[in-house]
Amino acid sequence: MGDFNENSSIEFHEYKFPCNDPTKCRPIEILLDQGVYVFELYGASGGNGYRTHLNLVTKGGNGGYTRGIVGLSRKTRVFLFIGGSGVTSDDGFAPGGWNGGGRGSVGLFNYYVGSGGGATDVRIGCNKLRCRRIVAGGGGGAGASSSAQTGDLSFGGSGGGLVGKNGTGYDYVDDEHSGKAVLFNSMSSLKKS
């Protein structure tokens, strides 16, 4: 595999979540020439919760980040499954973000809760799970209890590493976002199919 250095001619491509509904989408399919590629992946954040009587937003967890280098010996189809952000709902359940986000359950008092964000992954050669090579996990959805105490609020845990982070009590995390994939290449061109 080649090294990237200051004399390399590096192509840079950023792919964002391509759909309007964060719970339903499709992969982005690209055709890569032979070469060495660096993928940076960002999982989607979990959905927010909301406590009406406290007028307070509980934040979903951030999506994970990962980076990997892939060497291709021939022209290859690659599928980017970019995670959809978790959603907020007070209507029975909150559907999970596209590409594996967990469903959020509203519970007895119909407080606004968030669902989990979807993972962002790269699949080499086919769009099946068996072809998945690099994965950035999604963040956990935020919840809310029936208590009026701020200490009982629940914030979604972040996705990342081999095991994501646990959710927390009264604490803040960053704003919600869908996943994205960034692709660097030093030698060849991309063809979107």
Q: What span, in angstroms and rounded, lies between the C-alpha atoms of 167 and 156?
A: 5
**pLDDT at 192 (0 to 100):** 47
What does the pLDDT look like over 3-30, one tens digit per residue? Answer: 444 445 567 889 999 999 999 999 999 9
Q: What is the pLDDT of residue 1?
A: 35
Nearest to 86 by CA among 57, 53, 113: 113
**Distance of alpha carbon 80 from alpha carbon 5, whole angstroms:** 26
- Is 96's pLDDT higher than 50? yes
Q: What percent of the chain is predicted at pLDDT more than 70?
A: 67
Tell me what pLDDT residue 9 has. 58
pLDDT of residue 74: 95
Cα separation, 65 vs 121, in Å, equals 11
More confident residue, 111 or 172: 111
pTM given for the model: 0.79
Other beta carbons within 10 angstroms of residue 98's beta carbon come to 27
Kindly report the average pLDDT of the chain as a whole number.
78
Is residue 150 over pLDDT 80? no
Residue 177 is predicted with a pLDDT of 47
Place of tokens 């951030």: 62
**pLDDT per residue as tens digits for the range 152-188:** 556 677 776 666 655 555 444 444 445 556 666 544 4
Distance, in Å, from the CA atom of 29 to the CA atom of 15, rounded to the nearest integer, reads 11
Rounded distance, CA 97 to CA 167, Å?
A: 17
Q: For residues 99 and 132, is the Cβ–Cβ distance under 8 A?
A: no
pLDDT tens per residue, range 63-93 = 999 999 999 999 999 999 999 999 988 877 8
